[in-house]
Amino acid sequence: MRIRPEPSVIDIVVEEQHAPLVLSNPKTEEKVKELLQCFRLTGENVLKVSDIFADEMENGINDRPSTLLMENTYIPELLQGTETGDYLALDLGGTNFRILLVGLQKGRTVREEVTQYHISDELRLGSGEDLFDYLADCLYDFVHKHGVANRKLRMGFTFSFPMHQRALDVGVLIKWTKSFASTGVEGNDVVDMLRNAIHKKGGLDVEIIAILNDTTGTLLQGCVLDSNAAVGLILGTGSNACYMERAERVSHWEAERHGEKEVIIDIEWGAFGDGGLLNFIRTDFDKQVDTNSLFASSFTFEKYISGKYLGELVRLILVNLANHRLIFGGIMSKKIQQIDSFLTKYVSQIEEDNVNNTLCNTEEILKLFDLDYNEDDIQVVKYVSEVVSIRAAMLVSSCLSEVLKRMKRPFVTVAVDGSLFKHHPRFKLWMEKFVKLLAPQHPFKLMLVEDGSGKGAALATAIAERLRKTYLIY
């Protein structure tokens, strides 16, 4: 039986998180509240989002059409505390990528060498072959620089783009995101492409035995810090989650089975709600964000909750309020009218003012945008940041609560990484409150875990090596 709060109880808890907006002009105050009412999720809508998410998880895990990919990572177990050795990790997810040499002793990191390399526009937008040749060149540079060129090393590849995994060491790129558009990669196994580039380069005794994304890496790194870690969550520029699922529930399994009891499932929830599933909570501002984005009509959920878009949502609201002459005397600067100019880090800084009952951060940001403001304007900007932030925290919580319910564990530590979670002063607090409200019978803890994308790849490699020895796979 699903135990859940009444919608009216959710309404009360959500309302308690909002500070009252008090302006010198009651009419302006009322109009601002009215314009932002669309961001206040009702209890009924919160439960509806949770139900849809639960259904989409079930559809995805059973290979039925779903906006959640529910990708099998083929990582059937977590760290056992016996893993020992040196492992390479290549972490590709943005315009800079990293190569790491991680030394493990009984599952703990005892050595870490890291070098960062830049990827030029020409490589990101050129041919995929050139891109992977460059990765191999950098790998060659790294192993020679750190004196391990003469050793056979096994490597994990963190590839933080949507991919379809067919085995622990097979990952087919579905679609480039972020600023990448290298040709000849989509639809191909990126591990195979990197292997070919390494072979072509020569002088490298490196074997890639695991591919994963930053979300899975965060969970693995979380396990080092807390044995109860069973969910990985990214709340940064993008957002995603993964969790430990019972193997018997997983329909999609292309690799050979070896009696696995569990496996990490990569939910890929950024596109949750695509196709109109979440239109009942969509505002006109959300529609504008979508229209202005590089990936219109896709990554719906990410546009509600992630660091890439929250600042833009706040900017669009402020522009709308100014157009209605409700702030800044109806006068806007050129800077505030530029798309994507209002970064989510500003939202976090404004939220610090809300926590500390101060004005200084908000004033500095308004000066940065060349805006003339009065005290009422400052209060409105703080109110807008709060309303947008609370909605994002509730939406993340509504989905995370369903993951915890599905797992049915006595206690779960959620390993979380990402700039939004790390720098927003109230996001963690709200999530703790909302998840406890929505999943009262499922105790949990949110734990900040940094650099899962780097160290996590080395940990995945150590697990993969152990599995190979266990099942005599060489």
DSSP of 36-71, one letter per residue? HGGGS--HHHHHHHHHHHHHHHHHHHTTSS-SS--E
Output the CA angle 363-369-375, nearest 5 degrees.
30
Q: Pick from 426, 401, 392, 428: which is nearest to 303 by CA?
A: 392
99 exposed, middle or buried (CB, 10 Å; 0-12, 13-18, 19+)?
Answer: buried
Of these residues, 66, 86, 91, 98, which one is catalytic?
Answer: 98
Of these residues, 86, 214, 376, 417, which one is catalytic?
Answer: 214
Residue pair 457/272 in contact (Cβ under 8 Å)? The answer is: no
Helix (H) / strand (E) containing 90: strand 85-92
Q: Pick from 73, 95, 259: which is nearest to 168 by CA?
A: 73
Q: In what order do the strands lie in the sheet with 96-105?
A: 108-118, 96-105, 85-92, 153-159, 206-212
| DSSP-derived secondary structure letter, 455 | H
User: What torsion, rounded to 10 degrees, do the Cα atoms 427, 273, 33, 42 define?
Assistant: -80
Q: Reply yes or no on whether 4 is catalytic.
A: no
Q: Reply yes or no on whether 98 is catalytic.
A: yes
How far from each other are the two terminal CA atoms of the chain, in whole angstroms? 46
* Total count of residues recorded for the chain: 474
360 exposed, middle or buried (CB, 10 Å; 0-12, 13-18, 19+)?
Answer: exposed
CA distance 233 to 235: 7
Q: Reply yes or no on whether 8 is catalytic.
A: no
Both tokens of 313, joined, read: 């949502």
Residue pair 49/281 in contact (Cβ under 8 Å)? The answer is: yes
Residue pair 214/456 in contact (Cβ under 8 Å)? The answer is: yes
CA distance 160 to 348: 25
Of these residues, 50, 66, 160, 348, which one is catalytic?
Answer: 160
Question: In whole angstroms, what separates CA 49 from the centre of its chain?
Answer: 19
Residues forming the active site: 98, 160, 214
